[in-house]
């Protein structure tokens, strides 16, 4: 049985007590850029290090794919801005330059001209005349390159300067054409109704093994006909994909075992064919690879950047297993059937047999694509419902990333400003980091893997609300079970009261503190933020109704002290009962494909913002001077070779380049633009 004492690895990242400045690399706008460490890399074998090296090279070559997916003007804008940035010889104290420098850093971080979280377009603080003046000062060769870019992107000036042109990357507003009003580059010349009708004709509700239609293509209308431009070798993004496959082939030479070699072979075959059945074959073999220490994701994965939730953004991560800390996740995954059997949902919606749920704690070696610079702290894949049901899934928690976040946040004053009492502060200090990790484990390993669709239900039935509802379902599953005595019995939770730290942090974030990430007057747009708001505000309303009926104090409420608003939890046990009720409804909605009920939940609880509370949160955050968003620079990996080209070592280098230097290098080394 795992215990809390078992969960400390011999190569754990530096403790959070280390000073913030050692982790911070850059700070601008609402962003702080951090570094992360890769503990135990030196302990890998030469074969494993070589495998990591070539997998990281494969990961880096997908960067421009994501940029282009996010908006068709992104690569052109980046090229123009980088040329101005590299060749500027003027006054670097000038307000126009400073505004341009911030814009450059923002679009680098967001992989395009839209904010990575809010989806809103950046509005530059410099003028169009200033930018055009800087371009005029460039040498003739560079100007010729820019002229080519401008010729192919006639509205590029509007994309930068017009606040109403392509103003949101992913529109999730109710009652509008989501395709026509989203700037993401997944569709062209089509309406939402046309896209949905096109795929409805392709889907067979009786197919037990449906592919994820649209995952790896752009859908366009050409000469009145709908055409899919598949992202593959020889197709759209072909030159980048060829670089990816070249490095995957090199990595395959250093595979740890036959199964891992087969996984890489299947991925290469998929990149070359573009056939989604090949992607399913790859995913099945990837789930089976449980013995390799080194692992990776590489491809079109999550569909959050598609307003219809179909097309996958390019993403990559290379990692290796943190054996010591994996004890916690293995206990959870080993008991997956117990959690499924005791889930407070209609038995019709439970999986009778949970297959292949595996979980581990990993150390990220490289972040890329949609996982860079901002990155998730947990992953559960594959996303195909039928593969999950028949073959299982793999879930990971990324320990060195959460360690870096915690180290950078040490002593920033957040807890003292926003938590109701010293009791909550002390509980979170004692258990917060640990319960955050357990929440991620449960969310990724069990939450996403739980439940089943009823026969004939379309996996895409929730349409634009699918991502929010799925994240809410996984989150509420995790919250419900965090308070279960079973976790203490299994040794996963160190204390029967520890779950309260997670409950308080989750409710405070969903009700209040995540509002610091939203501009005044805006709605909540991002799926994970909507998920947290949905859970918190649904629970708040439910608690208020019970309190009004019973004449008792609500289990969850807002409280005021000295003119400040706080979240107050009066009954943690009652809160868990509400979570059980909401979990049951979220699972019913997914299992039955009840679009209208799902839409109503999201629109009622997850979109609108109380402007007074919002302004208060922003003002209190401003005094703390905390960056709302954080991301990372990657370390560098360097091959050590003999004159004959034999690899003798792979070295990891920290701190060799700044945020700006890394972004400029990636643009030079991993781009054809």
> Is residue 619 exposed (0-12), middle (13-18) or buried (19+ Cβ within 10 Å)?
exposed
Task: Write the pLDDT tens digit of every residue in 417-447.
Answer: 999 999 999 999 999 988 998 999 999 999 9
pLDDT at position 240 is: 98
pLDDT at position 640 is: 97
Q: What are phi and psi of 623, to 5 degrees?
A: -70, -30
Q: What is the mean pLDDT of residues 371-393?
A: 93
Comparing C-alpha atoms, which of 478, 433, 466 is closest to residue 593?
Answer: 466
Per CATH, is 37-61+186-319+650-673 categorized as 3.30.540.30?
yes
Task: Write the pLDDT tens digit of every residue in 10-34.
Answer: 465 444 334 444 789 999 999 999 9
Residue 223 structure tokens = 């000469």
Task: Evaluate if residue 296 carries a pLDDT over 80.
Answer: yes
Q: What is the mean pLDDT of residues 270-278?
A: 98
373: preceding bond cis by omega (within 30 degrees): yes
pLDDT at position 12 is: 52
Task: Write the pLDDT tens digit of every residue in 110-156.
Answer: 999 999 988 999 999 999 999 999 999 999 999 999 999 888 788 99
- The β-bridge relationship of strands 636-641 and 378-381 is unpaired
pLDDT at position 365 is: 98
pLDDT at position 433 is: 85
Any residues with CB less than 8 A from the CB of 380 and at least 6 apart, and which?
Answer: 393, 394, 395, 396, 443, 444, 445, 447, 448, 449, 474
Region of 630 on the Ramachandran plot (φ > 0 left; ψ -120 to 50 alpha; else beta):
beta
444: part of which helix (H) or strand (E)?
A: none
Task: Write the pLDDT tens digit of every residue in 154-183.
Answer: 899 999 999 999 999 999 888 999 999 999
Q: How far apart are CA 515 and CA 635, in angstroms?
A: 32
User: 409 falls in which pLDDT band (50, 70, 90)?
Assistant: confident
301: part of which helix (H) or strand (E)?
A: none
- Domain positions in the chain are 37-61+186-319+650-673, 72-168
pLDDT at position 439 is: 95
Q: What is the mean pLDDT of the chain?
A: 94
Task: Evaluate if residue 3 carries a pLDDT over 60.
Answer: no
Region of 658 on the Ramachandran plot (φ > 0 left; ψ -120 to 50 alpha; else beta):
beta
pLDDT at position 4 is: 35
Residue 603 structure tokens = 């629109």
Q: How far apart are CA 179 and CA 360, in angstroms?
A: 38
pLDDT at position 6 is: 35
pLDDT at position 353 is: 93
Q: Which residues pair with 569 in a beta bridge?
A: 556
Q: Is the dihedral of CA 303, 304, 309, 311 positive or negative?
A: negative
Residue 295 structure tokens = 């692992």
Helices (H), 88-237: 95-110, 128-136, 140-152, 156-161, 192-202
Q: How far apart are CA 510 and CA 30, in angstroms?
A: 19
Q: What is the mean pLDDT of residues 565-574?
A: 98
Q: How far apart are CA 479 and CA 569, in angstroms?
A: 15
Q: What is the mean pLDDT of residues 499-522?
A: 95
Task: Evaluate if residue 55 carries a pLDDT over 90.
Answer: yes
Q: How far apart are CA 116 and CA 106, in angstroms?
A: 9
Size of the chain, expressed as the number of residues it contains: 673
Q: What is the DSSP secondary structure assignment for residue 5, as one 8-state letter?
A: G
First to last CA, the chain: 54
pLDDT at position 241 is: 98
User: 561 falls in which pLDDT band (50, 70, 90)?
Assistant: very high
Which has the minimum average pLDDT: 155-164, 247-256, 393-402, 569-578?
393-402
pLDDT at position 11 is: 63
Contact in structure between 49 and 443 (CB atoms under 8 Å): no
Q: What is the mean pLDDT of residues 94-103?
A: 98
pLDDT at position 153 is: 83
Contact in structure between 507 and 569 (CB atoms under 8 Å): yes
Q: Helix or strand or coil: residue 16?
A: coil
């Amino acid at each position: 049985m795992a215990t809390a004492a078992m969960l400390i690895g011999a190569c754990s990242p530096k403790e959070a007590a280390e000073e913030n400045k050692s982790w911070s690399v850059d700070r601008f706008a609402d962003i702080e850029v951090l570094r992360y460490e890769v503990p135990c890399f030196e302990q890998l074998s030469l074969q494993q290090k070589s495998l990591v090296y070539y997998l990281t090279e494969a990961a880096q070559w997908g960067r421009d794919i994501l940029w282009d997916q996010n908006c068709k003007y992104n690569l052109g804008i980046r090229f123009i801005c980088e040329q101005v940035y590299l060749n500027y010889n003027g006054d670097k104290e000038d307000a126009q330059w400073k505004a341009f420098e911030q814009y450059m850093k923002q679009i680098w971080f967001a992989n395009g001209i839209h904010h990575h979280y809010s989806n809103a377009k950046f509005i530059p603080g410099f003028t169009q005349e200033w930018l055009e003046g800087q371009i005029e000062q460039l040498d003739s060769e560079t100007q010729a390159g820019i002229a080519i870019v401008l010729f192919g992107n006639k509205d590029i000036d509007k994309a930068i300067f017009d606040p109403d042109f392509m103003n949101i990357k992913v529109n999730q507003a109710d009652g509008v054409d989501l395709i026509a009003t989203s700037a993401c580059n997944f569709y062209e010349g089509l309406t939402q109704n046309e896209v949905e009708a096109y795929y409805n004709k392709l889907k067979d509700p009786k197919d037990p093994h449906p592919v994820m239609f649209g995952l790896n293509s752009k859908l366009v209308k050409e000469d009145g006909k709908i055409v899919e431009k598949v992202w593959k070798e020889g197709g759209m993004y072909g030159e980048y994909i060829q670089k990816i496959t070249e490095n995957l082939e090199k990595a395959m030479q250093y595979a740890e075992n036959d199964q891992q070699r087969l996984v890489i072979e299947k991925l290469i075959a998929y990149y070359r064919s573009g056939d989604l059945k090949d992607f399913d074959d790859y995913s099945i073999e990837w789930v089976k690879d449980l013995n390799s220490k080194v692992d990776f994701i590489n491809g079109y994965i999550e569909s959050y950047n598609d307003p219809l939730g179909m097309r996958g953004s390019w993403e990559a991560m290379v990692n290796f297993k943190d054996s010591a800390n994996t004890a916690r996740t293995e206990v959870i995954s080993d008991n997956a059937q117990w959690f499924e059997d005791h889930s407070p949902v209609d038995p019709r919606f439970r999986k009778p047999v949970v297959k292949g749920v595996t979980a581990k704690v990993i150390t990220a070696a490289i972040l890329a694509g949609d996982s860079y610079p901002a990155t998730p702290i947990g992953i559960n894949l594959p996303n195909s419902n039928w593969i999950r049901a028949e073959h299982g899934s793999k879930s990971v928690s990324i320990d060195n990333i959460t360690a870096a976040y915690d180290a950078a946040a040490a002593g920033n004053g957040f807890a003292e400003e926003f938590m109701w009492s010293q009791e909550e502060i002390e509980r979170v200090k004692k258990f917060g980091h640990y319960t955050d990790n357990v929440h991620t484990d449960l969310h990724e390993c069990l939450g996403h893997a739980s439940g089943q669709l009823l026969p004939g239900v379309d996996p895409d039935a929730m349409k634009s609300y699918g991502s929010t509802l799925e994240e809410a379902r996984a989150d509420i599953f995790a919250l419900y079970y965090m308070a279960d005595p079973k976790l203490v019995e299994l040794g996963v939770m160190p204390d029967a009261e520890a779950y309260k730290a997670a409950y308080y942090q989750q409710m405070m974030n969903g009700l209040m503190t995540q509002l610091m990430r939203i501009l005044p007057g805006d709605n909540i747009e991002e799926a994970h933020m909507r998920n947290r708001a949905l859970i918190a505000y649904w629970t708040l309303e439910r608690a208020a109704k019970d309190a009004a009926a019973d004449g008792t104090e609500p289990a969850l409420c807002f409280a005021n002290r000295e003119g400040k608003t706080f979240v107050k939890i009066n009954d943690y046990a009652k809160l868990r009962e509400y979570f059980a009720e909401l979990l049951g409804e979220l699972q019913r909605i997914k299992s039955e494909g009840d679009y209208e009920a799902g839409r109503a939940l999201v629109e009622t609880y997850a979109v609108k913002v109380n402007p007074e509370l919002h302004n208060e949160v922003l003002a209190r955050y401003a005094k703390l001077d905390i960056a709302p968003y954080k991301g990372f620079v990657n370390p560098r990996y360097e091959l050590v070779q003999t004159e004959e080209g034999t690899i003798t070592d792979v070295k990891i280098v920290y701190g060799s380049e700044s945020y700006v230097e890394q972004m400029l290098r990636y643009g030079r080394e991993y781009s054809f633009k």
